[in-house]
Amino acid sequence: MRSVDLAVVGGGLAACSLVAQLQQRRFQGTIGLVEAGRGPGGRSSSRESRTAPGWRLDHGAPSFNLTEPPPDELRSLLNQMEREGYLIRDDQPIVGLNSAGRFTEAPQNAQLEGKRFRGQPSMASVCEGLLKMADPLLQTYYNKRICWLERDRNHWHLSTDDKAWTLAARRLVLSGNLLAHPRGKSLMRWDAIPLRAAVTKGFDPQLDDVLSCVSASSASIRWTCMIQLSNTQRPEITTNWPGQIWLDEGAQNRWPVERLVLQPQQNGGLGLVIHGLQESEPCITPEGGGSPAEARERMFLDALPGLLACMPRGESLLKEARSWGVMRWGAAQPLDNPLPSSLQWCSSSAIGFCGDWIDTPGFGRAEGALRSAVNLAGTLTANS
C-alpha cells in the first residue's frame, strides 16, 4: 500500500505553499499531495490551448494581493519565487466601468488593495514553482479525487470513489473543506460527510468544533468565460486597454458581469476572461434546453458586443473572438464563519486545515491561503 508521513489533499495555492514551506523548514518525513485535477493550481489554475502552443488563460484568479506585511517565512517564500521567475509584481492598470460604457476609477475592493502579484507566464506557474521547491520531499498524485476517508489507530486512509486507489498517511491536511462540508455530500452524492464518518463524534472535541464551524459556513458560486479575442498582435488595443475592468453596480445591472480580465499572450494575441457575478443558487436554469454551462456561455457571449463596444476599437475584435467555454467554481470564495486559526491542527486525530477559509488576515483571498499555510507548516514541523 502507498504510504506517506503526511498526505495533503488539494493542489491549490494553500496546499502548494504548505509543502514548499515545509521544505524550507526542513520537515522530517515524506509528503503526498493528492489533487483531483490534471495538475496544480486550484482557483489559481490556467487553461492551456491544445491547438495553439503558448496560449494560456487564467480562468480563476488573475493575480493575488497582500494587504498587510507578510511574516518573515512568507516573505522569504515569495522572494524566492520572484528570484526564480515564477512570480512578478502586477502593475497592470485597473479601472472601473459604468452603465454608460465609460471608464471610471477602480472600485474599492479588498482584492485590489496593497501589493499585487501574478504568475509568470501564468497563474498556474505559482503553484508549479512552489511544488518544485518542495520536490525532494514530495510525491504528487493527480487525477485522484478523494471520496473516502478512514481513520484507524495510527493512520489515515484516503481512497477514490471506487476505492481502486488508496493512500495511507500518519497525518492528514485538507486544504479545502469539501470533505468536511455538507455541500460536499450533496454535490458528490455521498451517503455521509467523509470526515465526519471517519472520526466518531466525541473522540476529538477539537475536530467536532471544526466540523461544526465548517457546516455553518457558505461560499460564493461563480462562472468564468474564457475568450480568445485575437490571435495576432494588436498593439493599438493592448496599449490602450487596462489589465482589469471592474463593473460598477449600474454596469452589473446592464451586463451580468463582475469584471473583465485582459490577458496578452506570448505570441502577441489577446485573451479575455469574463468573471460572472456571485450567485447563491447552484446554477441557472437554461431556457429552451441545453446544459447550465451552455446557457451561461450564451449569456456571456450575448453580453460581449456591448462590453467590447465600451473599449477603444474593441468592436473590431468581434469577428475574431472565439470562446474556450466556461468554468464553474462551486466554492469560489468563502463568505462567512472562518475557521479559527486555533483549530488548524487537531492533534488527537492528526489532521490539519489550511486555505482561504481560515480566520487569518486575508480571509476569503489568496493572502489568507498563504498565511494559513505558513501557520500550519510551523505546527507540523514542530511536531515532526
Length of the chain: 384
pLDDT of res. 287 = 46
Report residue 23: phi and psi, to 5°: -65, -45
pLDDT tens, residue by residue, 279-316? 864 444 444 446 889 999 999 999 999 999 988 888 88
Alpha-carbon span 357 to 338, nearest angstrom: 5
DSSP code for 340: P
| More confident position, 165 or 53 | 165
Alpha-carbon span 122 to 378, nearest angstrom: 29
pLDDT of res. 51 = 80
Least confident of 2-11, 38-47, 202-211, 306-315: 306-315
All 3 cell numbers of residue 171?
A: 497525518
Give domain 3-45+124-217+337-382's CATH number out of 1.10.10.10, 3.40.640.10, 3.40.50.720, 3.50.50.60.
Answer: 3.50.50.60
Please indicate whether the domains covering 3-45+124-217+337-382 and 91-117+220-332 agree at the CATH topology level: no
What pTM was computed for the model?
0.94
Q: Report domain extents, the chain.
A: 3-45+124-217+337-382, 91-117+220-332
- Listed in order, strand segments (DSSP E) in 35-191 are 47-48, 56-57, 64-66, 87-89, 94-97, 103-104, 115-119, 138-141, 146-151, 156-160, 166-174
All 3 cell numbers of residue 231?
A: 490571435
pLDDT of res. 136 = 83
Burial of 178 (0-12, 13-18, 19+ CB in 10 A): buried
pLDDT of res. 238 = 64
Fold classification of 91-117+220-332 (topology level): Polyamine Oxidase; Chain A, domain 2 (3.90.660)
Amino acid at 77: L
Average pLDDT value over all residues in the chain: 92
Residue 301: CA atoms inside 13 Å, Cβ hemisphere, count? 18
Alpha-carbon span 236 to 340, nearest angstrom: 49
All 3 cell numbers of residue 326?
A: 466556461
Percent of the chain residues past pLDDT 70, beyond the cut: 96
Alpha-carbon span 384 to 376, nearest angstrom: 12
All 3 cell numbers of residue 303?
A: 453580453
* H runs (alpha helix) in 143-265: 182-188, 194-198, 205-215, 235-238, 249-254
pLDDT tens, residue by residue, 320-352? 899 999 999 988 999 999 999 999 999 999 999
Evaluate if residue 354 carries a pLDDT over 80. yes
Average pLDDT over residues 178-207: 92
Alpha-carbon span 16 to 8, nearest angstrom: 9
Angle separating helix axes 13-24 and 124-133, nearest 10 degrees = 30
pLDDT band at 196 (very low <50, low <70, confident <90, very high): very high
pLDDT band at 6 (very low <50, low <70, confident <90, very high): very high
pLDDT tens, residue by residue, 108-165? 999 999 999 999 999 999 999 999 999 888 999 999 999 999 999 899 999 999 999 9
Amino acid at 319: K
Alpha-carbon span 23 to 44, nearest angstrom: 22
Alpha-carbon span 384 to 373, nearest angstrom: 16
pLDDT of res. 22 = 96
Alpha-carbon span 118 to 74, nearest angstrom: 16
Burial of 16 (0-12, 13-18, 19+ CB in 10 A): buried
pLDDT of res. 186 = 81
| More confident position, 244 or 54 | 244
